[in-house]
Chain A
Amino acid sequence: QVQLVQSGAEVKKPGASVKVSCKASGYTFTNYYIHWVRQSPGQGLEWMGIINPSDGSTSYAQKLQGRVTMTRDTSTSKVYMELSSLRSEDTAVYYCARDRLVSGVSSTDVWGKGTTVTVSS
């Protein structure tokens, strides 16, 4: 079945970086864009950006430009989201989610279970 499996929880100090992985299975990895969405404790959803696994092209939320990098490894069907210069406000659950359409940007119909990132000194 189609699924996205994310890496485990992380605890980081302010100023550090974190890299979260998302492994896709059950479909052709390069056919569907992957979005990253985060959710701070008790808060709503925040779209972070998107990556095209076919060519690695990306688009990031302006708020995170310069701190976020999304990459992919087609040999392992994994996408990665790295966030640098972490601050306490980056404490959140980070989700990867597959776009619903082939080679398009749309809503997201398959979600990973989320990775909790805690930033604390």
Chain B
Amino acid sequence: EIVLTQSPGTLSVSPGERATLSCRASQSVSSSYLAWYQQKPGQAPRLLIYGASSRATGIPDRFSGSGSGTDFTLTISRLEPEDFAVYYCQQYGSSPCTFGPGTKVDIK
């Protein structure tokens, strides 16, 4: 199974600043089948990015995804107060689907 590692574990950022989150896979993720989710306390995850770089419906353009192979990045260009949350990457290119352990973005 593909193991995903996310870094950093926690990212402290001020509102309005840029946040860069990393997701690294133990082997190549086929066809860039990599997604990013946002989860807030007490809520279900929300799909942000699929196919490594495509924004899901209704996701603001301050969220962007990039990468291929084993290295992927989620960038939040200017953090809004509602963006403070935990972010998970997921690969769905090979079975079983797997999630990374998450990166918590909190207020500096």
Cα-based distance from A107 to B101 in the complex (angstroms):
17
Chain B contact-residue range equals 20 to 34
Task: Decide if B88 is an interface residue (CB 8 Å cutoff).
Answer: yes
Could you name 12 residue pairs across A and B whose Cβ atoms are closer than 8 Å?
A44-B102, A45-B39, A45-B88, A47-B90, A47-B96, A47-B97, A62-B1, A106-B33, A107-B56, A107-B90, A109-B57, A111-B46
In the bound complex, what is the Cα–Cα distance between A58 and B90 (angstroms)?
A: 20
CB of A113 within 8 A of CB of B90, answer no
Closest B residue, CB atoms, query A4: B44
Q: Is A72 among interface residues, defined by CB-CB distance under 8 A?
A: no
Interface residues of B, dominant DSSP: loop
Q: Mark B17-57, 1 if CB is under 8 A from A, else 0.
A: 00000000000000001010101000011110010000011
Query: Is A120 at the interface (CB under 8 A from chain B)?
Result: no
Residue B98 CB within 8 A of the other chain: yes
Interface of A is mostly: strand
Top 4 closest A-B pairs, CB basis? Answer: A107-B35, A111-B44, A107-B50, A45-B99
Q: State how many angstroms separate the Cβ of A58 from the closest Cβ of chain B.
A: 12
Contact mask A91-106 → B, CB, 8 Å, 1/0? 0000101001000011
Chain A residues near B63: list those with CB within 8 A.
none
Query: What 1/0 flags go to A21-54 for Cβ under 8 Å of B?
Result: 0000000000000010100000011110110000
Once A44-B100, A44-B101, A47-B99 are accepted as A-B contacts, the answer to whether A106 and B50 lie under 8 Å apart by CB is yes
